[in-house]
Every structure is written in C-alpha cells, then in structure tokens.
C-alpha cells in the first residue's frame, strides 16, 4: 500500500513539527510517501528533518506542489479554507485506488465535500484533527467564520453518518474521552487516538537571567479555552511583569492588562518559529497546558 499525504492549508512553518513527524511515521510504515504541500512548507519540513537526522528519508518522498491562499484576517481565513477544501477534493479524486490518503489537517469546509466524494471513490482516508475540535464545545456567533465551522463540525460528527471509509485521528487519549459527549455513537467508532508526535532534544535549555516571567503554550495558539484568561488573572497576583510568548487569540482588551506583554501576535514571529523548530521553547519559565474541563482539542 502507498500513502498520499495532502496538506492544502499550511504555509511556511505552520504545523511543521507535527507534519514532519507524521511524515517520518508514514515513511517507517510504508517506505515511501507522496506529499502534497506548499513549497514554503516543503522547505521548512526538509530543514527540520535534516536538523534532526532524517535527511536521508527526504529522498523517499515525492513532493507535489499545492497552492495555498496567503491572505490573513477573517476574510483571508475563509478564502484560504474554501480554496483548500476545493483543492482537497480535487486531489482526493486524483488519488489512486489502494492508496491511503492522509489529510494532516481537518479543514471543516472540506469535510462535507470529502464525505460526498468518497461515497463514490471508496478511498481509505485518514483525517488528523487539531484545535478545530474546540468548536464542538464553544458557542461561536453565527456571523463569524468559527460559527459556520462549528455548525459543519457538529452536523458531521453529531447528526449524520460519515462515509465508512473516513477515519479520524486525535492527538491524545484524553482528547478522545472529552470528545465522546459531542459525537454520535456511529462516529465514535470512526475516531482513534495517538500520542502527539514531535522531535525532542534531551538536554534542557540553559536558563538566562531576566526580570520577567515568561509563559509559553505548546498547544498552538494560546486561547481562553487553553488558559489565557487564567494567565491574565494570575498577572494581577504576582509581583513581576508577565510576558506571554507565542500566538494568542481571543484577547483584544490590551489596555485593561498593561502589566502583560504579548509577544508573537503575528504568527510569523521569530519566537514562534524558534519554538516550533526546536521541539522546546527557549528560555521559558512555564508552559501552559491548562484546558477548561471537558474541552476537546487537538
């Protein structure tokens, strides 16, 4: 069996650690892989694999170019996901019978199309779920993109029966347990869990003297569901300045929290890239792994 990995969402270093680790896993299982991604993502994957001693494995990967919308902001997000959904469907149609087709990012807009197409194609499809599953538990306004994404996910996982050849992977057994209240009985059987793969270095970073408390998150964006609100309240109770390193989302009232310095509001900050590529954030005092009870995330 051959494996075809399709990524129609990622550019640059987005999800590069997970994507590279997933690629290595597929190479170990199948020997060779066909990888569809944007050229900037390919360059990041190749550098990461070379840095961690997997340079020889790159020769066993046949890369295929994918166009990805670059625009940012709410409108750009909708355009990127809509274009990615169409490209995902087209590449599923172009896949060969007998292949395992892996989508390493669960695009909510692509899910109904993939379900429809695979009813005719009967491909073996694996979709990896990430933080979009938080939308199952939240209450997003209907006029926001997240509101539409949430409605699609709830309908797909809670009210309908997806094609029997679609399988979904979540990154942790606790996530799978938290998901069960939001899934229909039929869809529970379509999900399984693995540990989040990555690259880790054995030696801890050397501490550097500094006069601020630095907090980082290894759960992608640091959001209120992932403990951002608790960190902000903590800043009122500690006697030192607080710096949040990495991307945050859902934090707009900066004037109310002058004692908190936010680094990495832009997804392309050097700190975010360094955190992702090294496997461990440099010079952080604490990592935030705090999640609200019962929140499913990936």
For 279, the token pair is 């496997």
pLDDT at 174: 86
Long-range contacts of 23-31 (CB under 8 A, 24+ apart): 23/49, 23/57, 23/61, 24/49, 24/54, 24/57, 24/197, 25/197, 26/102, 27/57, 27/60, 27/61, 29/3, 30/1, 30/2, 30/3, 30/100, 31/60
Given a contact cutoff of 8 angstroms between Cβ atoms, the answer to whether 170 and 179 are in contact is yes
pLDDT of residue 207: 62
The reported pLDDT for the residue numbered 272 is: 41
Report how far residue 85's alpha carbon sits from residue 83's, in angstroms, rounded to the nearest whole number. 5
**pLDDT for res 220:** 59
Provide the pLDDT for residue 268.
Answer: 39
- What integer pLDDT is reported at residue 73 of this predicted model? 74
Q: Are 231 and 261 in contact (CB under 8 A)?
A: no
Q: What is the pLDDT along the chain (298 residues), one digit of tens a residue?
A: 799 999 999 988 888 999 999 999 999 999 999 999 999 999 999 999 999 999 999 999 999 999 999 877 778 888 999 999 999 999 999 999 999 999 999 999 999 999 999 999 999 999 999 888 888 877 777 777 788 888 888 888 876 678 889 999 999 898 888 888 888 777 788 899 998 888 876 666 666 666 666 666 555 566 666 667 777 777 777 766 667 666 665 555 556 666 666 665 444 333 344 444 444 445 666 665 555 555 555 5
pLDDT at 288: 59
Burial (CB count within 10 angstroms: exposed 0-12, middle 13-18, buried 19+), residue 280: middle
Tell me the two tokens of residue 149.
């994404």
What element of type H or E holds 64?
strand 61-65
- Among the listed residues 153, 203, 177, 195, the one whose alpha carbon sits nearest the alpha carbon of residue 294: 177
């Amino acid at each position: 069996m051959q494996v075809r990995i399709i990524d129609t969402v990622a550019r640059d270093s987005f999800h590069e650690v997970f994507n590279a680790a997933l690629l290595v896993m597929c190479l170990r299982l199948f020997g060779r892989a066909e990888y569809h991604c944007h050229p900037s993502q390919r360059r990041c994957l190749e550098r990461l694999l070379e840095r961690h001693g997997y340079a020889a494995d790159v020769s066993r990967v046949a890369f295929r170019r994918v166009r990805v919308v670059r625009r940012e902001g709410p409108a750009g997000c909708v355009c990127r996901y809509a274009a990615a959904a169409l490209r995902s469907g087209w590449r599923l149609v172009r896949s060969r019978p007998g292949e395992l087709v892996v989508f390493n990012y669960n695009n909510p807009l692509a899910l109904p199309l993939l379900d429809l197409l695979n009813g005719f194609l009967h491909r073996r499809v694996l979709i990896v779920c990430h933080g979009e599953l938080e939308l199952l538990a939240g209450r997003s306004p209907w006029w926001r993109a997240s509101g539409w994404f949430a409605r699609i996910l709830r309908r797909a996982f809670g009210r309908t029966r997806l094609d029997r050849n679609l399988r979904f992977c979540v990154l942790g057994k606790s996530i799978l347990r938290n998901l069960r209240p939001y899934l229909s009985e039929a869809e529970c059987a379509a999900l399984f869990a693995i540990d989040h793969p990555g690259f880790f270095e054995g030696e801890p970073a050397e501490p550097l003297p500094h006069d601020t408390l630095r907090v980082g998150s290894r759960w992608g964006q640091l959001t209120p569901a992932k403990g951002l609100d608790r960190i902000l309240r903590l800043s009122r109770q500690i006697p030192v300045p607080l710096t949040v390193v990495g991307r945050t989302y859902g934090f707009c009232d900066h004037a109310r929290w002058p004692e908190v310095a936010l680094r990495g509001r832009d997804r392309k900050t050097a700190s975010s890239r360094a955190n992702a590529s090294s496997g461990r954030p440099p010079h952080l005092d604490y990592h935030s792994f705090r999640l609200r009870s019962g929140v499913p995330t990936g």
